[in-house]
């Protein structure tokens, strides 16, 4: 299958599985990803997601240019008609945290997928870039908006306009990734991060993600009011009470998502 998903201990590991073409995205992978994102949103056994790529060379190198020529339909027909215009990120939105483990190359749509994740860690052999300008195109799945919001205008413009990838060290310097680890330690590190998140109260974790993302587009004073509203919603939940009791009794909390 072009996309594999395994769920263990409330952590879903989603693996892009076309290593023979550096996990480039074709039509079948796009369809599989839509089904995977739908499961992530609706499966109560999933609290956290790890997204990675199969093989040693690449996380994802974007669209498979040999297998994905432009469709015959107009953009308007796809967007307002059949509803089939979506790419790898169609249906991606979820309040569940997503950790991206970037093994090797993350280029074009591959980096756009990584940018849509909440936490990015990279192997020390990673190369990351939005290379679309080199083939006369643009990053059409959020890269032009998410990259400058992530690393700032100047560094983003340098990457976007030259189309040149950066190495793992530069990605760490700009804040494009949070950590760089040896390739052999990448999935263990991602799993450790995901496990720490999964051990926390699921309602609190999802509330934090939704509130942070919403607040990025608000004036500070408005966002602070939203913080108070969200705290009020969580104040009397069973999980919040359980967390305080567990702290008092010096034991691990047992959260139920209620």
**17 & 68 share domain:** yes
Pair 240, 116 in one domain: no
Per the structure, the complete domain to which residue 85 belongs is given by 3-198
In a domain, residue 258? The reply is no
Would you call 132 a catalytic residue per the annotation?
A: yes
d(CA 95, CA 116): 12
Catalytic residue among 132, 164, 192, 242: 132
Phi (first) and psi of residue 153, to 5 degrees? -65, -50
Q: What is the pLDDT of residues 198-215, one digit of tens each?
A: 999 999 999 999 999 999
pLDDT at residue 181 above 80?
A: yes
Residues 235 and 137 in one domain: no
Choose, from 20, 84, 112, 185, the residue flagged as catalytic: 112
User: Per-residue pLDDT for 87 more than 80?
Assistant: no
What pLDDT score was predicted for residue 255?
92
pTM for this prediction: 0.90
Same domain for 245 and 172, yes or no, is no
- Looking at the chain, which runs of residues are DSSP E strands? 3-8, 11-16, 48-53, 58-60, 98-102, 105-107, 119-123, 127-129, 166-167, 179-181
Q: Give pLDDT, residue 66.
A: 65
- 257 within some domain: no
* 185 in Cβ contact with 149 (< 8 Å): no
User: Can 242 be counted among the known catalytic residues?
Assistant: no
**Residue closest to 255 by CA, chosen among 195, 200, 196, 197:** 200
75 and 134 housed in the same domain = yes
Structural domain total, the chain = 2
Q: 171 and 212 share a domain?
A: no
Q: What confidence tier does 156 reach under pLDDT thresholds 50, 70, 90?
A: very high
User: Are 162 and 66 found together in one domain?
Assistant: yes
Q: What CATH number should be reported for the domain holding residue 214?
A: 1.10.12
Same domain assignment for residues 21 and 91:
yes
């Amino acid at each position: 299958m072009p996309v594999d998903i395994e769920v263990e201990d409330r952590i879903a590991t989603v693996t892009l599985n076309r290593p023979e073409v550096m996990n480039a995205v074709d039509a079948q992978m796009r369809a599989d990803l839509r089904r995977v994102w739908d499961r992530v949103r609706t499966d109560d056994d999933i609290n956290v997601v790890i997204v990675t790529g199969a093989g040693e060379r690449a996380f994802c190198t974007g669209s498979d240019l040999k297998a994905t020529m432009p469709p015959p339909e107009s953009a308007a027909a796809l967007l307002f008609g059949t509803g089939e215009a979506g790419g790898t990120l169609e249906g991606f939105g979820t309040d569940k945290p997503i950790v991206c483990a970037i093994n090797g190359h993350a280029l074009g749509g591959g980096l756009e997928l990584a940018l849509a994740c909440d936490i990015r860690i990279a192997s020390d052999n990673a190369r990351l870039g939005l290379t679309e300008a080199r083939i006369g195109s643009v990053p059409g799945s959020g890269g032009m908006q998410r990259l400058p919001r992530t690393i700032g205008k100047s560094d983003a413009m340098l990457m976007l306009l030259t189309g040149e990838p950066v190495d793992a060290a530069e990605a760490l310097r700009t804040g494009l990734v949070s950590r760089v680890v040896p390739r052999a330690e990448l999935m263990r590190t991602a799993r450790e991060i995901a496990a720490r998140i999964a051990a926390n109260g699921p309602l609190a974790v999802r509330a934090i993600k939704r509130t942070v993302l919403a607040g990025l587009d608000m004036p500070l004073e408005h966002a602070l009011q939203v913080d108070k509203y969200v705290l009020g919603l969580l104040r009397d939940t069973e999980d919040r009470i359980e967390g305080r009791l567990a702290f008092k009794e010096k034991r691990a909390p047992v959260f139920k998502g209620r």
